[in-house]
Amino acid sequence: MNIQQGLDKLYSLHTFGIKLGLENITRFMDIIGNPQDKLKTFHVAGSNGKGSTSAFIASILQEFKYKVGIYTSPHFVRFNERIKINNTEIPDNYVADFISTFEKHIDDLKLTFFEVTTAMAFKYFADQKVQYAVIETGLGGRLDATNVLEPCAVIITSVSLEHTAILGSTVDKIASEKAGIIKNKSKVFIGLLPEQAENVIEKKCAETNSSLFRLDDSINRTKDSIELYTEEIELDDWTMPLKGDYQKYNAALAGLAVSKILDITDFKHIQTGIKNVIKNTGIQGRYEFYNNMPDIIMDSAHNPESINSFLSEFSKDYKKYNKRALLFCAMKDKAVKEMLSAVSLYFDDIYVTHVNMERSCTIDDLTSIGKELGIKTQPVEKADEFVQQFRNREPKECLVVMGSMYLLGEIKTILQNKKIA
């Protein structure tokens, strides 16, 4: 089996959709030797910020010269982006061999795409003897395939209303799902959470005899920034390669978790890890300038909380542009009305598009929602061509591509393939 055959098999598993529960993944992990039991892991959940926080943790660990695996989703261009060691992607032959070797078990257990990918990541990290692995949850936490771990650190970045049909319709219920990754005697690190979410996690920590570390207890907020102070470290001089004040909170949470787990006092390596996060992990899609003059900004904001975080930063710069356009797409299970309403205040032209997956809102869906809100939208069938053509606009114009990580990935994949061709 070659890599394309392996990926075709893997992508075909999307037909099983999202299947919450640990029974099948647990059985499969037994078959492949329970590699997760050989890993020291940072397990990261959250409605927003989990990808960035995972990247900051991995980058900081690399600055301490550890061999670090990181597992995130979704990918933007190549499947292999999901599974990396020190910013080197999992090799094609490993992916193909894994699928080929365990294909019968995958079929017999009717495993999902995410279950197989998660198992592959754990086995690859164990085979390569990583010293730490940073594992981002998929959906929720309690019944997520990654929750076969016994992590050395649990990180919950944020809690907001998302995937309500699956995770619950209140912040309390969603917090309870995310708190499901807390095991007995865990060290738990939380970002700035709503009070009701924090209460749920406090209760879970008490039930499991776990230690709780709140970011809010370790930071001082200033007018323009934040300062991270613990007994071990002081961090108030930030060199942030990721734009947005909210990224400082993600970086501070990562620094807090690593400092407590490693019991370190060398804040300079933490500082360097934050500074080198792009070089060390290849993170993308976070206020990413895809083109300059005209500026094309790609951001993976995909729910109201992350949209508002982006707009908080964009509001500092948007007046410098003569004209501002938005290319927007969203998944059906998101709070699309709230998202579209928020972004409409900042853009002169709003274009709506879709991605090639069942969960995506159609252009007609988004047009109808726009009409309900009194927002004029314009349809774009081929998002990649639209982005490519926008490069020829006036230098003082701006295009923001936002609403779904899948949209960013689809555009980047097509444009990169065109460059190669």
Per-residue pLDDT tens digits for 79-117: 999 999 999 999 999 999 999 999 999 999 999 999 999
Q: How distant, in Å, are the alpha carbons of 40, 86, 98, 380 from that of 395?
A: 48, 37, 48, 22
pLDDT digits (tens, 9 = 90+) for 22-51: 999 999 999 999 999 999 999 999 988 999
User: What pTM, to 2 d.p., does this model score?
Assistant: 0.90
> Which residues are CB-neighbours of 145 under 8 A, at least 6 positions away?
22, 25, 112, 114, 115, 118, 119, 138
Q: In angstroms, rounded to a whole number, what is the distance separating the alpha carbons of residues 273 and 60?
A: 4
Determine the pLDDT at residue 293.
94
Judgement on whether residues 243 and 266 belong to the same structural domain of the protein: yes
Say if residues 212 and 187 touch (Cβ distance below 8 Å).
no
Residues 195 and 230 in one domain: yes
In the chain, what's the furthest Cα-to-Cα distance?
59
Residue ranges for the chain with pLDDT beneath 50: 163-166, 168, 421
pLDDT of residue 20: 67
Say what the pLDDT of residue 173 is.
86
- 236 and 354 within one domain: no
What single-letter amino acid sits at 224?
A: D
Same domain, 315 and 267: no
| CATH code, domain carrying 88 | 3.40.1190.10
200 shares its domain with 295:
no
Say which DSSP state 133 is in: E
Residues 331 and 412 in one domain: yes
Q: C-alpha dihedral over 416, 351, 331, 117, to 10 degrees?
A: 10
pLDDT of residue 137: 95
Domain-ending residue, one of 281, 311, 327: 281
pLDDT tens, 52-84?
999 999 999 999 999 999 999 989 989 999 999
Give the CA count within 13 Å in the CB-facing half-sphere of 304: 14
Axis crossing angle, helix 23-31 with helix 113-127, rounded to the nearest 10? 40
The domain boundary residue, chosen from 281, 315, 337: 281
Q: Is 47 helix (H, G, I), strand (E, B) or coil?
A: coil
* CATH code of the domain in which 378 resides: 3.90.190.20
For residue 415, the enclosing domain spans: 288-420
Q: Are residues 309 and 189 in the same domain?
A: no
**Residues 355 and 212 both lie in one domain:** no
Question: Which domain-ending residue is among 248, 281, 314?
Answer: 281
Same domain membership, residue 268 and residue 358: no
Q: How many domains does the chain contain in total?
A: 2
> Both 203 and 309 in a single domain?
no
Judged by DSSP in three states, 85 sits in: strand
pLDDT at 255: 93
- Domain check: are 265 and 305 in the same one? no
Both 84 and 173 in a single domain? Answer: yes
Angstrom distance (rounded) from CA 117 to CA 9: 12
CA angle, 235 as apex, 254 and 317 as ends, to 5°?
A: 80
